[in-house]
Amino acid sequence: MQKTAITAAEIAPVLANRWSPRAYDVNHTISQHEQLSILEAGRWAPSANNAQPWRYSLATRGSELHEKIVSALTGFNQAWAPTASALLVISMVNQKADGTPNTGALLDVGLTAQNMSIQAEELGLSAHMMAGFVHESMRAVLELADNLDPVLVISIGKRADASVLEGPAYEREIAPRTRFELDEIVLHGKP
């Protein structure tokens, strides 16, 4: 299913065509090259002071870690995410070198996550970000050190037909993508 964004002016095709599916092809496996390519895209994201406060946990379907990450997701996400070829957890370094809280690091995590999502799209794959997980469970599953907080899970895989889903996940899969109009969000300087 294509859900290309309707825009007032042309944007990069990879941005227009990206969307967050929940129906994944359970027979697709992600190659080592694709995994490396997505990790590299994340690594080369910009960050404040080039601090790179992100750490990655990548698990392919069929692995013990993939199952454990699924177990830490909230119920709705558990209904569809297990079929993703890979699950990637991004954890954030929560302290600066001087021991003070790393308050800005969430912005950097967002940038690395989007870099990875766009790279997945570029590879012909689809990514879906999830904040819906139980933090303490994820922390335990990944055996994270105290200076790391799990922030985001990204599912990555090959899109499948919406009919593989049921219930609310199916309804959301076939729903059109929506956004506020520019008039609603541009406070100053709309062309």
C-alpha triplet 157, 144, 58: angle, nearest 5°: 15
Residue 167 in contact with ligand FMN, rule: CB under 6 A: no
Q: How far is the CB of 98 from ligand FMN (least distance, A)?
A: 28
Of 13, 46, 104, 132, the one binding ligand FMN (CB under 6 A) is: 132
Q: Answer for the pair 86, 120: CB distance below 8 angstroms, yes or no.
A: no
Q: What is the 3-state secondary structure (H, E, C) of 51-102?
A: CCCEEEEEEECCCHHHHHHHHHECHHHHHHHHHCCEEEEEEEECECCCCCEC
User: Out of 38, 105, 127, 130, which residue is the one contacting ligand FMN (CB under 6 A)?
Assistant: 130
Question: Does residue 154 belong to the site contacting ligand FMN (CB under 6 A)?
Answer: no
The CA distance from 137 to 142, in Å, is 9
Nearer to ligand FMN, 55 or 128 (CB): 128
Between 105 and 146, name the residue whose CB sits nearer to ligand FMN: 105
DSSP 150: E
Q: Is 20 in the site for ligand FMN (CB under 6 A)?
A: yes
CB-nearer residue toward ligand FMN: 20 or 60:
20
Using CB under 6 A as the binding rule, whether residue 156 contacts ligand FMN is answered as: no
Number of residues forming the site for ligand FMN (CB under 6 A)? 9
CB of 160 to ligand FMN, least distance (A): 15
C-beta of 36 vs 104, nearer to ligand FMN: 104
Compute the distance between CA of residue 26 and CA of residue 151 in angstroms, rounded to an integer.
26
Q: How far apart are CA 158 and CA 29, in angstroms?
A: 9
Contact between 115 and ligand FMN per CB under 6 A: no
**Among the listed residues 41, 58, 129, 165, the single contact to ligand FMN using CB under 6 A:** 129
Instruction: Give the footprint of ligand FMN on residues 51-90 (CB under 6 A).
Output: 77
If binding is defined by CB under 6 A, does position 170 make contact with ligand FMN? Answer: no
Cα 28 to its chain centre, rounded Å, is 18
122 phi and psi, to 5 degrees? -60, -30
